[in-house]
């Protein structure tokens, strides 16, 4: 079966990560994504290293399954092509700084005149309104300003702030962008009307800090980094073993009793400091020291066998190579291979979205720059080969 968004068309004015990741999610769901790029090089992530046969792995990873057309948007004929495409698509996604699409002549009010039903999704650093709206933004700015960095990293107050390892400043906005787009499409089924969606990277990071912010509002205390531990329960963190590290979770009293049995520490169950959830949290620093001593006595494999036998939640701290070889991850088809005309066969990360009836994965590699000019202009807009060749010769495409 085709994907759940099969039949929907998306016009993408996206580059870098937040926008392309959004449209990748829509593409994974079955939508046809037409990516508009500048004929002079296209999306700048095409040149990011590392590369496979001069093709950027960054670009390959977030543009899989899409179609690429090149348009010189300074040419009025290219702008007409955009407006013609707008009448044929359901969604437009862009992640320029606010004001850029208006300067190009493709702001929401202009676009909706050509297609009142269009869903127009804008992703930007700070949103379309507010005092920061026109400022540029990157992932690290959003992470830093949104609070997530202030609660990430070592517990040592002298330690410098630490960026989250993945680009969640970009991708969290992508998730909200894709979800909002789907909600708007669903709402359109009821009303027949399109609308504009305004998603900000900063807003998205603030949303991720919901628990920390709720605690601040309730107590007035500013949350700080807690290392690998959870700020509200203990033990709920990473511990060193004889040969590696292990995640151990004994977040309620029953799990704690199971842990104490497995660790041969029955006295900890009746210890006034550790016997209940509140006590363990209040004495988390000493608890961590005591548990570190115990956990270092056995290897991760030995602890895992013991914990599984005693129903204690635990798991390894996998590096990226170990993740790619994990049997559960592979059983869930989280990696697949595609073939690119230049890069050849290469593996990509699959989608975590699993549907019982409609498939939800893309088997097509990222497109070469302008690879789909002929198909899109002829099949979608009905241009003749002669017209397309003229546009190519005159550097409109």
**Pairing relation of β-strands 236-240 and 195-200?**
unpaired
Structure tokens at 187: 């709402």
Compute the average pLDDT of residues 364-369. 97
- Active-site hit among 28, 107, 139, 170: 170
Residue 387 has pLDDT above 80, yes or no: yes
> What value does the mean pLDDT take over residues 231-241?
97
pLDDT at 359: 86
The pTM assigned to this predicted structure is 0.94
Task: Give the pLDDT band (50/70/90) at residue 392.
Answer: very high
Tens-place pLDDT, residues 261-304: 999 999 999 999 999 999 999 999 999 999 999 999 999 999 99
CA end-to-end span of the chain, whole Å? 34
Q: What is the pLDDT of residue 115?
A: 98
Q: Please state the rounded mean pLDDT for residues 358-374.
A: 92
pLDDT of residue 363: 82
Mean per-residue pLDDT for 108-137?
A: 97
Contact 65, 339 (CB under 8 A): no
Q: Is 185 left (phi over 0), alpha (psi -120 to 50) or beta?
A: alpha
C-beta of residue 226 within 8 angstroms of C-beta of residue 155: yes
In the chain, the domains with their CATH numbers are 9-208+327-393 (3.40.50.10540), 236-240+245-316 (3.30.1540.10)
Tokens of 368: 């070469």
Confidence of residue 360 (pLDDT cuts 50, 70, 90): confident
User: Is 40 buried (19+), middle (13-18) or exposed (0-12) by CB count in 10 A?
Assistant: exposed
Span 127-181, pLDDT tens digits? 999 999 999 999 999 999 999 999 999 999 999 999 999 999 999 999 999 999 9
Known catalytic residue at 170: yes
- pLDDT confidence of residue 362: 75
Q: Which of 32, 21, 45, 202 is nearest to 129 (CA)?
A: 202
Of all residues in the chain, what percent are helix, strand and coil, respectively (each to 5)? 40, 15, 45
Give the mean model confidence (pLDDT) for residues 24-38: 97
Q: Would the pLDDT of 240 be above 80?
A: yes
Report the DSSP pairing between strands 245-249 and 313-316: antiparallel
- Give pLDDT tens digits for 160-174: 999 999 999 999 999
Q: How far apart are CA 240 and CA 296, in angstroms?
A: 6
pLDDT value at position 1?
77
In three-state secondary structure terms, 93 is strand
């Amino acid at each position: 079966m085709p994907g759940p968004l099969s039949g929907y068309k998306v016009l993408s004015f996206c580059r870098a990560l937040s926008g392309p990741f959004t449209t990748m999610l829509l593409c994974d769901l079955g939508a046809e994504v037409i990516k508009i790029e500048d004929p002079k090089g296209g999306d700048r992530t095409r040149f990011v290293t590392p590369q496979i046969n001069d093709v950027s792995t960054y670009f390959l990873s977030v543009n899989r399954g899409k179609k690429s057309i090149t348009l010189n948007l300074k040419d009025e004929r290219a702008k007409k092509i955009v407006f013609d495409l707008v009448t044929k698509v359901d969604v437009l996604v862009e992640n320029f700084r606010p004001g850029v699409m208006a300067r190009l002549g493709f702001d929401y009010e202009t676009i909706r005149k050509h297609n009142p039903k269009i869903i127009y999704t804008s992703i930007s650093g700070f949103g379309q309104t507010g005092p920061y709206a026109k400022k540029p933004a990157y992932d690290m700015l959003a992470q830093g300003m949104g609070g997530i960095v202030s609660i990430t990293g070592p517990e040592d107050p002298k330690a410098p702030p630490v960026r989250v390892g993945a680009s969640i400043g970009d991708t969290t906005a992508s998730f909200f962008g894709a979800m909002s787009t789907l909600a708007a499409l669903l709402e359109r089924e009821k009303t027949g009307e399109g609308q504009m969606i305004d998603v900000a990277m900063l807003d998205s990071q603030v949303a991720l800090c919901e628990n920390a912010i709720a605690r601040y509002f309730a107590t007035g205390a500013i949350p700080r980094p807690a290392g690998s531990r959870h700020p509200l329960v203990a033990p709920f963190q990473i511990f060193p073993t004889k040969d590696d590290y292990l995640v151990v979770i004994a977040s309620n009293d029953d799990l704690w009793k199971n842990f104490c049995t497995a660790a041969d520490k029955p006295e900890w169950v009746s210890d006034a400091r550790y016997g209940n959830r509140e006590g363990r949290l209040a004495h988390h620093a000493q608890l961590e020291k005591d548990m570190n001593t115990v956990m270092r006595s056995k290897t991760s494999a030995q602890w895992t066998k013991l914990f599984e036998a005693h129903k204690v939640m635990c798991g390894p701290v996998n590096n990226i190579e170990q993740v790619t070889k994990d049997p559960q991850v592979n059983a869930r088809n989280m990696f697949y291979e595609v073939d690119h005309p230049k890069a050849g066969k290469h593996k990509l990360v699959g989608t975590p979205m699993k549907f019982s009836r409609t498939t939800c994965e893309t088997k097509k590699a990222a497109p070469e720059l302008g690879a789909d000019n002929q198909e899109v202009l002829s099949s979608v807009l009905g241009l003749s080969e002669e017209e397309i060749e003229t546009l190519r010769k005159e550097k409109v495409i």
